[in-house]
Amino acid sequence: MAQKLWDKGKATNEEIERFTVGRDIEMDLFLAKHDVLGSMAHITMLESIGLLGKDELPILLKELKSIYKLAESGDFKIEEGVEDVHSQVELLLTRKLGDLGKKIHSGRSRNDQVLLDMKLFIREQIHLVANAVMDLFHVLIEQSNKYKDVLLPGYTHLQIAMPSSFGLWFGAYAESLVDDMALLLAAWKMTNRNPLGSAAGYGSSFPLNRQMTTDLLGFDTMDYNVIYAQMGRGKVEKTVAFALAGIASTISKLAFDSCMFTSQNFGFIKLPDECTTGSSIMPHKKNPDVFELTRAKCNKIQTLPQQIMMIMNNLPSGYFRDLQIIKEIFIPVFDELKDCLKMTTHIMRDVKIRENILDDPKYDFIFSVEEVNRLVLSGMPFRDAYKKVGLDIEAGKFTPNKNIHHTHEGSIGNLCNDKIQDLMEKSMKEFSFEKVDTAIQKLLR
């Protein structure tokens, strides 16, 4: 017998049911433990306003904690004929506790339940993504410091341009992650607001204490206006998707560089053998498949904000079933991005770099700017110095001076990695991860 919270005794056509449910049950398994946490906070609040008896609350909380453990262990299942995670949790409660289990839905709708579930899920996932970004960041800073004096060619238009260094290369991607983290922080702040109590988008005639559930779940604040709380569905996911896309963009570019730099035409770096694959016909091949797949996955992740935008675009205020589809494309992206971060961190930690690259005469001309600057420092006007060096190159008279002396902030000789680390640490401190963890652990106790 199908379990539906809205069931009024009339059967739904099976094909209609299949179409409308879609992949919702599969996605809801990701939300199960969060749905239980939301119910625990909600019924604690209901007891405080007299909608649950003092003797009923501990019975319900005990059973919900058991369901939470089931969800956390991966053993929670949504049974055949049960519509969603909310229905399954309520079904498990009513099997054990009878009519008492039916009381947990007072003062809320599936609309604010799923809003809450998604925000709790996103919060947890942002925390995991932030930790994975930090792991990669620390490796990049460490490699930047380690290889700060090893030069390599810098390119513009894929033509050799000016001297660069591995210190600059690794450090550039570290600083890119700093900006990505700032965007992730903005997404966190939007996520960490409590929508519970907005019900179907128009509030409730029950005297709900929304501040209480906000505190119990460790939110920084709430989505105050109940209509806006519902309007936030899709908007939060889109904003988070932009933040994830920013991280993916950084990793994708790093993957492209690594694929290019490891090719024989460049030969600047060597990937760990265990991170490459071979060819079925060419015995010499060591292919950078991990980075090629990383590049593709990260480019796919960068399409996510547009997909969400197209699903929710031009919807008026209020709830629409269109929003259900967002879960299908949004929820899986966190594991994909974390996987890419993990692979990239592993390879960047063990990558081998080639020294003395610029000893090759084909890179001599990248020192031409150094010579122009040397002449300017000796008193020659810049335009005259530029012309002289250009004519020397054309005449085959240019002899490079490979002693590089850059001192300004962020240059080869002054990477400012300590400043970059400070920026990252400031961002990380603004996430209220500890406050959230403390609140959740207190609720579970």
Confidence of residue 196 (pLDDT cuts 50, 70, 90): very high
Q: Report pLDDT digits (tens) over 394-423.
A: 999 999 999 988 999 999 999 999 999 999
For residue 30, give both structure tokens: 């990701």
Evaluate whether 174 touches 137 at the Cβ level (below 8 Å). yes
For residue 415, give both structure tokens: 């990477």
- Give the integer Cα–Cα distance in Å for 348 and 346: 6
Distances (CA, A) of 329 to 301, 309, 324: 10, 12, 10
- Give the pLDDT score at 2: 45
Q: Report pLDDT digits (tens) over 289-328.
A: 899 999 999 999 999 999 999 999 888 898 888 888 999 9
Q: Report pLDDT digits (tens) over 68-89.
A: 999 999 999 999 889 899 999 9
For residue 109, give both structure tokens: 């709708």
Higher pLDDT: 78 or 272? It is: 78
DSSP states along 84-113: SHHHHHHHHHHHHHGGGGGGGGTT--HHHH
- Give the pLDDT score at 20: 66
Confidence of residue 18 (pLDDT cuts 50, 70, 90): low
Q: Which residue, 113, 115, 123, 87, is CA-closest to 102?
A: 87
157: annotated active-site residue: yes
DSSP states along 169-218: HHHHHHHHHHHHHHHHHHHHHHHSEE-TT-TTTT--SS---HHHHHHHTT
2-6, 322-326, 349-353: range with highest mean pLDDT: 349-353
Q: Which residue, 294, 274, 296, 277, is CA-closest to 285?
A: 277
Which residues, 6 or more positions from 38, have their beta carbon under 8 angstroms from its beta carbon? Answer: 113, 116, 117, 120, 196, 217
For residue 220, give both structure tokens: 């920084």
Is pLDDT above 90 for 23?
no
Would you state the torsion angle of the CA atoms of residues 371, 376, 378, 379, taken in this order, to the nearest 10 degrees?
Answer: 150
pTM of the model: 0.92
- Give the pLDDT score at 278: 74
SS3 163: strand
- Give the integer Cα–Cα distance in Å for 289 and 297: 12
Q: Which of 73, 157, 205, 408 is catalytic?
A: 157
Q: Which of 39, 205, 279, 368 is catalytic?
A: 279
Q: Report pLDDT digits (tens) over 213-268.
A: 999 999 999 999 999 999 999 999 999 999 999 999 999 999 999 999 999 999 99
- Give the integer Cα–Cα distance in Å for 55 and 75: 29
- Give the integer Cα–Cα distance in Å for 266 and 399: 23
Is pLDDT above 90 for 348?
yes
Whole-number average pLDDT of the chain: 93
- Give the pLDDT score at 11: 61
Just give the CATH number of 118-149+166-352: 1.20.200.10
Place of tokens 């640490």: 425
- Give the pLDDT score at 347: 95
Question: Which fold does the domain 14-106 belong to in CATH?
Answer: Fumarase C; Chain B, domain 1 (1.10.275)
- Give the integer Cα–Cα distance in Å for 245 and 298: 8
176: annotated active-site residue: no
- Give the pLDDT score at 7: 56
- Give the pLDDT score at 273: 79
Place of tokens 């207190």: 442
193 DSSP β-pair partners: 221
Evaluate whether 149 touches 165 at the Cβ level (below 8 Å). yes
Q: Which residue, 222, 214, 225, 197, is CA-closest to 107?
A: 197
Q: Where are the beta strands (DSSP E) in 266-403?
A: 269-270, 352-353
- Give the pLDDT score at 53: 96
- For 110-114, 182-186, 254-258, 314-318, which range has the lowest pLDDT when averaged over its residues? 314-318
Place of tokens 């400043």: 419
Confidence of residue 1 (pLDDT cuts 50, 70, 90): very low
Question: What average pLDDT does the segment 4-9 reach?
Answer: 53
Which residues, 6 or more positions from 359, have their beta carbon under 8 angstroms from its beta carbon? Answer: none
Q: Which residue, 194, 245, 257, is CA-closest to 221?
A: 194
Going from N- to C-terminal start, the domains of the chain cover 14-106, 118-149+166-352
